[in-house]
Chains A and B, each alone.
Chain A
């Protein structure tokens, strides 16, 4: 049956009313909405903006248009069945979210150390591939927001290669359900390692091209340098994580800080914003950090591929599902687990009662949600065109903001 909706003119006003009272506006001030359907809000984000001419006085984000009750769902089904919902939170980097979730549940079960090395390396490999894909969307759509069309097309072309590689592993382009609690859905397909190595060799020069085309482009620098400066103390106080926090100059990456999975064995740097084009923590720094992270992820991918073709070679008796538990019943208690997603710290809070496979409470701490909350602070007194540049540099995925 189709969804029945009774139209009433008051519905819009009542369901998401304007926060600013119009009578309190000063002479020359105006309230208007950017979004929820607007290409540069990257999804269904509605920004209520109070302006005085071209100057933004205040920004009030209205979110929740994509709320799909993740936490309510997670409370009603076993841990392993929640993974597809986790995919749909941050749909740009589903592998990373799955990785975080699966590792969290494994830590609760106390089986982290038993996971075979090959499984861990495959997980890191696909997660890093997905991290590049996510950063490509971030950089590409950011260029699009501020008027650079070509890089977007180039990046989408290269992202498609990644999505096809990942599709090969599990059959889905974006929402994978590939990383399972205790293992993987399948081992990598035959010859995946070779194709992936080819892709890595293909991508390296492309990243250089991108840097000359977009990142060091004069117009791009003019639009982003010294715009939307996020000071470090403010960033930490707002709980901002990921490339945004690193763009503000803190070398803080959970892959190094927590050293989970096989990351301690891998060699990679943590790029940070240095204010090379303007001020530390401006929009350019954040984009530059994302760009550099693609290089670092490629380094990790190469190391994973070396491992997967030598010490941890494919073996036809190897079963990546061998350790997948039949019953997922962690000890009663409260747990907070976290991992580094392309956009920041993805955390899960679980409460379990020790008697059932279903968590009593599961909360997801979305990085986009927290990163968005700093927007009103960053965009006071900027120009409207700069507001678009700031929103783009946050790298929001509304699926994760609204969950």
Chain B
């Protein structure tokens, strides 16, 4: 099953929530709405024809203040059917809040914490949204395009 068919399948079940398909990406990607998409992710995991049981990676992207959007990208893989799928979510930079998938795929727990840490995207319903890589008293989210580094951290000059 290729991305076209998955797109049609999702379109049939979720209609308006499925926005567009991009065939240029590798693996091919499907963009969905940022709100209320947990059912869709559960469908992707549990459906007999898809069975995306492995969440390989979640990536957060900041598109910068000019475009004023942020993205979260899920890379799914189905072990039994050898299927790849990239699912994208785009949302406003001012309200970086997306529903968590950490109860659907447990691996998302740490990935989402990392995205929160580095990009400041919040995951609604996440059980334990703390910083993971950076120290807890670090200021700012360094992968944001407009992040300004703090001058000193515990007396250590940050920017060299």
Residues of A within 8 A of B37 (CB): none
Binds A, one of B1-9, B11-19, B91-99, B134-142: B134-142
Interface centre among B73, B82, B132 (most CB of A within 10 A): B132
B-contact bits for A331-348, CB 8 A (1 contact / 0 none):
111111110000001010
Q: A388 to B82, alpha carbons, bound, how many Å?
A: 35
Using A64-B132, A239-B56, A252-B79 as known contacts, say yes or no to A334 and B25 having CB atoms under 8 A apart. Answer: yes
Q: A365 to B114, alpha carbons, bound, how many Å?
A: 11
Residues of A within 8 A of B135 (CB): 14-16, 64
Q: Is A64 touching B133 in the complex (CB atoms < 8 A)? A: yes
What is the number of residues of chain A that contact chain B, defined by CB distance less than 8 Å? 53
Closest to A402 in B: B133
A8 part of interface (Cβ distance < 8 Å): yes
Using A237-B105, A239-B54 as known contacts, say yes or no to A67 and B137 having CB atoms under 8 A apart. Answer: no
Q: A361 to B25, alpha carbons, bound, how many Å?
A: 14
Q: Is B133 touching A63 in the complex (CB atoms < 8 A)? A: yes
Report the minimal beta-carbon distance from B147 to chain A, rounded to whole angstroms. 10
Q: A239 to B77, alpha carbons, bound, how many Å?
A: 10
Residues of B within 8 A of A237 (CB): 53, 105-107
Q: Is B134 touching A67 in the complex (CB atoms < 8 A)? A: yes
What is the number of residues of chain B that contact chain A, defined by CB distance less than 8 Å? 40
Residues of A within 8 A of B25 (CB): 333-335
Of A5, A69, A107, A335, the contact of B142 (CB 8 Å cutoff) = A69
Closest to A258 in B: B82
B-contact bits for A131-155, CB 8 A (1 contact / 0 none):
0000000000000000000000000
A-contact bits for B118-133, CB 8 A (1 contact / 0 none):
1000000000001111
Closest to A348 in B: B57
Q: Is B154 touching A8 in the complex (CB atoms < 8 A)? A: yes
Residues of A within 8 A of B59 (CB): 349, 361, 363
Of A3, A236, A363, A374, the contact of B54 (CB 8 Å cutoff) = A236
A-contact bits for B53-76, CB 8 A (1 contact / 0 none):
111110101000000000001010
Q: Is B61 touching A239 in the complex (CB atoms < 8 A)? A: no
Q: Is A361 touching B105 in the complex (CB atoms < 8 A)? A: no
Q: A332 to B24, alpha carbons, bound, how many Å?
A: 8
Q: A17 to B57, alpha carbons, bound, how many Å?
A: 27
Q: A236 to B123, alpha carbons, bound, how many Å?
A: 22
A213 part of interface (Cβ distance < 8 Å): no
Closest to A250 in B: B79
Residues of A within 8 A of B107 (CB): 237-240, 370, 373
Report the minimal beta-carbon distance from B76 to chain A, rounded to whole angstroms. 10
Residues of B within 8 A of A188 (CB): none
Residues of B within 8 A of A250 (CB): 79
Query: For window 234-279 of chain A, which residues contact chain B by CB distance below 8 Å?
Result: 234, 236-240, 250, 252, 257
Closest to A361 in B: B61
Closest to A75 in B: B143
Report the minimal beta-carbon distance from B37 to chain A, rounded to whole angstroms. 18
B156 part of interface (Cβ distance < 8 Å): yes
Q: A240 to B82, alpha carbons, bound, how many Å?
A: 17
Interface centre among A257, A331, A365, A403 (most CB of B within 10 A): A365
Known: A63-B132, A71-B118, A363-B59. 20 other contacts (CB 8 A): A3-B157, A4-B156, A6-B154, A11-B154, A15-B135, A16-B136, A63-B133, A75-B143, A234-B106, A236-B79, A237-B107, A239-B106, A333-B26, A334-B22, A334-B25, A334-B86, A347-B57, A349-B57, A349-B59, A365-B57
The 9 listed contacts between A and B (C-beta, < 8 Å) are: A3-B156, A5-B156, A16-B135, A240-B107, A332-B24, A335-B26, A336-B26, A336-B57, A345-B56
